[in-house]
Amino acid sequence: MSRVLTGIQSTGRPHLGNILGAIIPAIELSKNKKNESLFFIADLHSFTTVRNPIDLQENTYATAAAWLAFGFDTKNNLFYKQSDVPQVCELTWYLNCFTPYPMLTNAHSFKDKSNNLSSVNSGLFTYPVLMAADILLYDSEIVPVGKDQLQHLEITRDIAGSFNHQFPNSFVLPQSKIDKKVMIVPGTDGQKMSKSYNNIIDVFLNDKLLRKQIMSIQTDSLSLESKKDANTCNVYKIYQLLSSEEDALTLYSKYAQGNFGYGHAKQELFELICSKFSKERERFNYLMDNKEIIDKELSLGAKKAKEIANKVLKRVRTNIGYV
Ligand code: ADP
Ligand code: TRP
């Protein structure tokens, strides 16, 4: 049995990129009976940037609702909110005392923002240490992450290694797991879809707003009659990530034949998203209208998470000499 852990920031409503690139693959991994999965909402990390309590709460609910709507099995796994397990803050302190300053100045998460130092708070600076605590607090063995998070995993292993050197058998050293066939979902402007670029497709919106987002996908200005190359079209690029190979081929030939406009292609993409995610959209909106169900799931998860956290923390405290 391997313990798999990953954290999901709650900085906005999950979009199609998050769903195809993170949520669905992680849920698939959790279906392997040999794994026990711990998925949590990294709302303490979000606090480095999100200050509005209503936004923080709504984003957390939306993130949780998306994972539940896509079928994460919370009975056989753990699903919790980082801030519900404050033990992680205590561990962060112990790890801070083992983190060399230059290791943090070299972290991309800090470096990217260090050209404007006055806007960098210490929370942002020590972000990787809190992430290390997230992982080590649960004796995690496998951590599925995107490429951008690999450095944080190396930092985690370095900190855990030097802590173990001083206090043997304190932590399990985790392995990162990168999905080889990571799919990058393009946004409505053709760049990588991201909350930060204002180019998302939010599949949980109602039909009217979802259709509007899809209609805003940028295309070239070839006329309706022209024969078109589907491979260079953002609409098709998104479509073929979602459709069967057969349906993608059919759409491909419609582009190539001409008399098929981008508006038609967008309508097909809209219909595909609605039919493919009909259950998930319905479930998401039901959960967002009945947030007490989400609260209950998260508080059950927190209870289970605390049991593991307390055990590991006790071991660490004993090793340090506090108990
Ligand atoms: P965002 O860029 O919208 O802020 P995050 O950085 O919060 O997204 O990413 C959360 C997860 O979703 C990560 O695992 C990331 O790899 C995945 N992800 C985000 N955008 C995409 C995308 N366009 N295509 C595929 N995966 C994505
Ligand atoms: N930093 C990660 C991200 O931005 C989220 C995260 C927080 C995380 N703690 C974690 C991921 C622990 C894996 C393990 O995507």
Q: Which domains does the chain have, with CATH numbers?
A: 2-184+291-320 (3.40.50.620), 204-276 (1.10.240.10)
Question: Which tokens hold the place of 287?
Answer: 């959960």
Give the Cα separation of 225 and 127 in Å (integer).
Answer: 53
Of 101-105, 127-131, 176-180, 228-232, the range with the lowest mean pLDDT is 176-180
Q: How far apart are the first and last CA of the chain?
A: 30
Q: Which of 149, 156, 195, 196 to mutate to test the pocket of ligand 2 (most atoms within 8 A of CB)?
A: 149
What's the per-residue H, E or C state across the chain?
CEEEEEEEECCCCCCHHHHHHHHHHHHHHHCCCCEEEEEEEEHHHHCCCCCCHHHHHHHHHHHHHHHHHCCCCCCCCEEEEHHHCCHHHHHHHHHHCCCCHHHHHCCHHHHCCHHHHHHCCHHHHCHHHHHHHHHHCCCCCEEECCHHHHHHHHHHHHHHHHHHHHCCCCCCCCEEECCCCCCCCECCCCCECCHHHCCCCCCCCCHHHHHHHHHCCCCCCCCCCCCCCHHHCHHHHHHHHHCCHHHHHHHHHHHHHCCCCHHHHHHHHHHHHHHHCHHHHHHHHHHHHCHHHHHHHHHHHHHHHHHHHHHHHHHHHHHHCCC
Q: Which of 11, 18, 40, 70 to mutate to test the pocket of ligand 1 (most atoms within 8 A of CB)?
A: 18
- What average pLDDT does the segment 295-321 reach? 98
Cβ atoms of 211 and 217 closer than 8 Å: no
In 10 A of CB 298, how many CB atoms? 22
How far, in whole angstroms, is CA 61 from its chain's centroid?
14
Overall residue count recorded for the chain in this entry: 323
Give the Cα separation of 155 and 159 in Å (integer).
Answer: 6
Q: Which pLDDT value is given to residue 11?
A: 86
pLDDT tens for each residue of 149-179: 999 999 999 999 999 999 999 999 999 998 7
Phi, psi for residue 78 in degrees, rounded to 5:
-120, 135
Of all atoms in ligand 1, which is nearest to the CA of residue 8? 10
Angle between helices 87-96 and 127-136 (to 10 degrees): 120
Strand pairing report for 78-81 and 35-42: parallel
- pLDDT beyond 80 at 180: no
- pLDDT beyond 90 at 259: yes
Q: Which ligand is nearest to the CA of 156?
A: 2
Give the Cα separation of 151 and 125 in Å (integer).
Answer: 14
In this structure, the residues whose C-beta lies within 6 A of any atom of ligand 1 are 9, 11, 17-18, 20-22, 146, 183-185, 192-196
Of all atoms in ligand 1, which is nearest to the CA of residue 183? 25
Give the Cα separation of 184 and 235 in Å (integer).
Answer: 14
Give 131's pLDDT tier (boundaries 50, 70, 90).
Answer: very high
In 10 A of CB 280, how many CB atoms? 20
CB under 8 Å to 260, separation ≥6 — which residues? Answer: 224, 228, 254
Q: Which ligand is nearest to the CA of 237?
A: 1
Q: Which pLDDT value is given to residue 114?
A: 83
Span from the CA of 25 to the centroid of ligand 1 (angstroms): 12
Of 143-147, 149-153, 214-218, 275-279, the range with the lowest mean pLDDT is 143-147
Span from the CA of 244 to the centroid of ligand 2 (angstroms): 31
Q: Which pLDDT value is given to residue 136?
A: 98
Question: Which tokens hold the place of 246?
Answer: 């057969």
Span from the CA of 22 to the centroid of ligand 1 (angstroms): 7
What is the radius of gyration, based on Cα positions, of the chain?
22
Q: Which ligand is nearest to the CA of 194?
A: 1
Give the Cα separation of 235 and 219 in Å (integer).
Answer: 8
Give 84's pLDDT tier (boundaries 50, 70, 90).
Answer: very high
Q: Which pLDDT value is given to residue 115?
A: 86
pLDDT tens for each residue of 15-32: 999 999 889 999 999 999
Q: Which of 11, 95, 145 to mutate to test the pocket of ligand 2 (most atoms within 8 A of CB)?
A: 145
pLDDT tens for each residue of 287-298: 999 999 999 999
Q: Which of 10, 23, 45 to mutate to test the pocket of ligand 2 (most atoms within 8 A of CB)?
A: 45
Question: Which tokens hold the place of 48?
Answer: 């480095």
Q: By percentage, how much of the chain surpasses pLDDT 90? A: 89
Span from the CA of 53 to the centroid of ligand 2 (angstroms): 21
